[in-house]
Amino acid sequence: MWPFNRKQAAAIEQKSLAQPDEDLLALLGVNVTGTAAVATSVALTVPAVAAAVKTIAEAAATLPITVKRCVDGVEEDVPNFSALALLTNTANPWTSGYELIRDLISQALTSDKGGLAWVNKAGGSAREIIRYDGGILDVAYASDGSGEPTYRLNGKVIPPDQIVHVRGAFSKCPLTLCAEAIGVAHVLETHVANLFTNGARPGGIIKFPQGVKIGDTALGKMRTAWQQAFGGAANTGKTALLWDGGDFLPLTFSSVDAQLLELRKFQVIEVARSFRIPPQMLFELDRATWSNSEQMAREFIRYTLMPWLRALESAFNRVLLTDEERGEYRFCFDLDDTSQADLTARATAISTLITARVLNANEGRDWLGLPPRAGGEAYENPAITPGAAANDNRAPAQAAA
């Protein structure tokens, strides 16, 4: 049992005519984003959109987060900081810290209101973080242009220092800013689905000579017999029998149909632009090479992932730190894990930093998850330092013995 009372929020989604969302506008018959734009639930059925949201959200959630303390200009990790456990262990009894960060970013990428979560505090300390779906936890902004938010949980005003709020640029999510491009991608998906569902596109037409009259009954029987004999993939390639001078004319793909694949690829690139991620991360590999893929991966970290990480850090600093702690402590994501997949580049970087005496050997070993060794605390270049204990791989306790 938790040592405090949790306010129970009724599962009632509230909507406001002052700030109507796209679902409420749809109920009122209003379309403000254009003919091709689609709702969030529909946009996420486009594979490229779903992949983009998952790529950013899961990449942010998988990075380690720590609390750093600055003392005399030197930062050190504070692993036992109380609020850190909510982000690295469990945010609440049914949500892990990983799921909380992933869902906050996912919500910020798909909702103009951004990612919202309520911090339940007792005695001034955060005890749990709860993210609500729907309109249970809502935000509205002051009409005087200051942008001051007012948060409501089940209709009750909540202080800002109890709300984690993560939102994108312009206070709009990518689904809204690029609604038309995503809508076109959905239209193309729907067109292809209709094209191949139950043989929606006819393979040809049956033409009769001028003057041959066929009644409605005969046409109906002919259509039924033809469908039974040749409809579906299982009957492809069978020999057709025609009557009354009928002639079968096969249909060919038009120039528009021939460009359908190119159009679909272009829309994947448009979705990638919408979320500012490299196309190859959406498995659009037409222009991918070994060199530009590596460069794009670095740009993804710098220009896509880092802005969202900074938004998360700022939100956590605002809510999970007190006024006294905020100038000394800060939450920080460790981007070093983004290089773990490339062992060669990682080893080269560690070796270069040790040689330049930026890191010592034990700090480099810590990056690799290895225990320290005797003599590894010295900042020295093992390639030129005479007598350096570079080859002593024993643990400190063993060396002392």
Instruction: Examine residue 48 and state whether it is found in any structural domain, yes or no.
Output: yes
User: How many domains is the chain built from?
Assistant: 3
55 with 153, same domain: the answer is yes
Q: Which two tokens stand for residue 59?
A: 């990449």
Dist CA 398 CA 201 (whole Å): 76
pLDDT of 397 over the 70 cut: no
49 with 95, same domain: the answer is yes
* Highest mean pLDDT (candidates 85-99, 162-176, 199-213, 292-306): 85-99
- Domain end among 111, 142, 176: 176
pLDDT of 255 over the 80 cut: no
What's the pLDDT at 389?
Answer: 47
68 with 136, same domain: the answer is yes
What's the pLDDT at 105?
Answer: 96
59 with 111, same domain: the answer is yes
pLDDT of 172 over the 80 cut: yes
Higher-confidence position of 203 and 304 = 304
Would you place residue 133 in the very low, low, confident or very high pLDDT band (cuts 50, 70, 90)? confident
149 with 26, same domain: the answer is yes
Q: Which stretch of 307-316, 332-341, 362-371 has the lowest confidence by average pLDDT?
A: 332-341
Instruction: Examine residue 308 and state whether it is found in any structural domain, yes or no.
Output: no
Higher-confidence position of 393 and 312 = 312
Instruction: Examine residue 2 and state whether it is found in any structural domain, yes or no.
Output: no
* Highest mean pLDDT (candidates 14-18, 115-119, 226-230, 340-344): 115-119
CA dihedral 361, 366, 368, 373 (to 10 degrees): 50
What's the pLDDT at 256?
Answer: 57
- Domain end among 158, 176, 194: 176
Q: What is the pLDDT of residues 324-339, one digit of tens each?
A: 998 899 999 988 755 5
79 with 138, same domain: the answer is yes
63 with 165, same domain: the answer is yes
Instruction: Examine residue 11 and state whether it is found in any structural domain, yes or no.
Output: no
Q: What is the mean pLDDT of the chain?
A: 80
Dist CA 390 CA 361 (whole Å): 8
Across 157-184, average pLDDT: 91
Across 65-79, average pLDDT: 88
Q: Which residues pair with 116 in a beta bridge?
A: 165
- Domain end among 194, 223, 250: 250
116 with 235, same domain: the answer is no
Higher-confidence position of 401 and 219 = 219
Q: What is this structure's pTM? A: 0.70
In this structure, are residues 272 and 278 in contact, taking their beta carbons and an 8 Å threshold? Answer: yes
For residues 289-305, one letter each, b for 16 or more C-beta atoms within 10 angstroms of the residue's C-beta and e for the rest, the string is eeeeeeebbeebeeebb
Across 53-78, average pLDDT: 91
Q: What is the CA radius of gyration of the chain?
A: 30
* Amino acid occupying residue 223: R
Instruction: Examine residue 136 and state whether it is found in any structural domain, yes or no.
Output: yes
Helices (H) then strands (E): counts for the chain: 16, 13
In this structure, are residues 325 and 84 in contact, taking their beta carbons and an 8 Å threshold? Answer: no
Instruction: Examine residue 392 and state whether it is found in any structural domain, yes or no.
Output: yes
pLDDT of 1 over the 50 cut: no
72 with 141, same domain: the answer is yes
Q: What is the pLDDT of residues 293-305, one digit of tens each?
A: 778 888 898 899 9
Tokens 């009632």 sit at which residue? 12
Higher-confidence position of 350 and 400 = 350
Cβ-based neighbour number of residue 22 at 10 Å: 19
Q: Which two tokens stand for residue 350?
A: 């560690």
pLDDT of 288 over the 50 cut: yes
Instruction: Examine residue 307 and state whether it is found in any structural domain, yes or no.
Output: no
50 with 137, same domain: the answer is yes
Instruction: Examine residue 354 and state whether it is found in any structural domain, yes or no.
Output: yes
Domain that holds residue 141: 22-34+44-176
Would you place residue 50 in the very low, low, confident or very high pLDDT band (cuts 50, 70, 90)? very high
pLDDT of 10 over the 50 cut: no
